[in-house]
Amino acid sequence: PEDFKKFTVQKQGSGGDFPSNFLFPVFPLCVLRGSMVKKIGIRRRRIHMSIFIVMFGGVCTAMANLCMRRSIDAGGSSRGFLMLQLPLSAVVAVLLNPVRMDNYTWNGTVAVLGLIGGVIIGAVLWALGKSLQRGPSGLTFAVFNSASVVPAIVMFVVFGAAFGHGYHWWNAIGSALVIVGLFCAVKHSRKHGVQISWMAFVATLFCLNVLFMSFLSWQALMLKGGIPYSALIPFHLNPNEAEWFMPMIFVAASIIHAIIYWKKTSKWPKPAEWVYAFLAGGLLGIGTYCLIESVQNAGTLEHAMIFPAYSVTIIAVCNIWGKLLYKEKIHWIAIGLAIVGIVIGVIKPMIAT
């Protein structure tokens, strides 16, 4: 009700407010207020809201992955699926950003940054497809998701705590456990011969994923006020003019994968691909929105665990639907290690503050 519009959670270390009503109608777990907050002894300004929101985004993205699996099971292809999915994600991005905010202000710099991000994510999806074609899928996804711990280190080394990107020993321990958990997930998988071409593509995939996540963090710095001068932040953007950033990411990615699809085939995708791709497009749009909002609104102590939390949530949910629908084995130890790593990275700074 009306309380949603009034309640805000102050970001740790930034002095700004995190708007609570932007996602609460579909994410009630974030409603930590009143007596509930008093019971856990944490003031509202210390609640790490971004972690909860990015985990919800991870759930949506994992369900989008399920739609892709269903589409392929129905005789579709990953190329056709992406060609249909990404444009709908662009539509969802428009609805969640300029339409929802009733703010259609156009900023050319924001649009160009979005297009650059879209080219990167388009390249990420291309490299992921090539890696899966040439090598073991389990190890490919482990390498892909292990990239999530690197952006925090990159941002800490390049910018540091003065820009809201701190990194501490508990983050390092948590990140290490996440990586161990991710690679344990493929320990019992059947061994495959690893080709040199697979190693080249998976290394490219890792670097591109790090680049995309670091790019999101860098763009978020441009929206913040009160940070020190840096030649690496050439300009500052008005947050009220940044609504077209996410839609332009999907526009660029859609164009890239439409070109890839029509270059390989001249037939339209099957009806089942349309259904699953449209469902996945909505889910991916919501998941990406949660990810970008979490990065832009994260406090100093949250940044290091935003991307690992996103990746671990995706892996955990994918394991669950794999078990329920495909009778696949759940690697509980691997998931447990990764979750413990997230908990250490998040709870320790909450206690310390």
Residue 186, pLDDT score: 54
Residue 30, pLDDT score: 37
Tens digit of pLDDT at every position of the chain (353 positions):
444 343 333 333 343 443 333 333 333 333 333 333 333 343 334 346 778 898 999 999 889 888 888 887 888 777 888 889 999 999 999 999 999 989 999 999 999 999 999 999 989 888 887 877 776 666 677 677 777 778 878 888 888 777 777 666 666 776 677 667 666 655 544 444 556 777 788 888 889 988 998 998 888 888 887 777 778 888 888 888 889 999 999 999 999 989 988 888 878 888 888 899 999 999 999 999 998 888 888 766 667 678 888 888 887 888 788 888 877 676 677 667 766 766 665 555 544 44
Half-sphere exposure of 74 (CA within 13 A, CB side): 19
Single-letter amino acid, residue 191: K
| Phi then psi dihedrals of residue 248, to 5 deg | -70, -25
**Residue 341 contacts by C-beta under 8 Å, 6 or more apart in sequence?**
173, 174, 175, 176, 177, 178, 180, 181, 308, 312
Whether the Cβ atoms of residue 338 and residue 179 lie closer than 8 Å to each other: no
| Phi then psi dihedrals of residue 337, to 5 deg | -60, -45
Residue 342, pLDDT score: 61
Residue 248, pLDDT score: 95
Q: Which long-range contacts (CB under 8 A, 24 or more apart) does 153-156 make?
A: 154/210, 154/214, 155/214, 155/217, 155/218, 155/303, 156/304
Residue 17, pLDDT score: 41
Rounded CA Rg of the chain: 20
Which uninterrupted H or E stretch holds 93?
helix 78-94
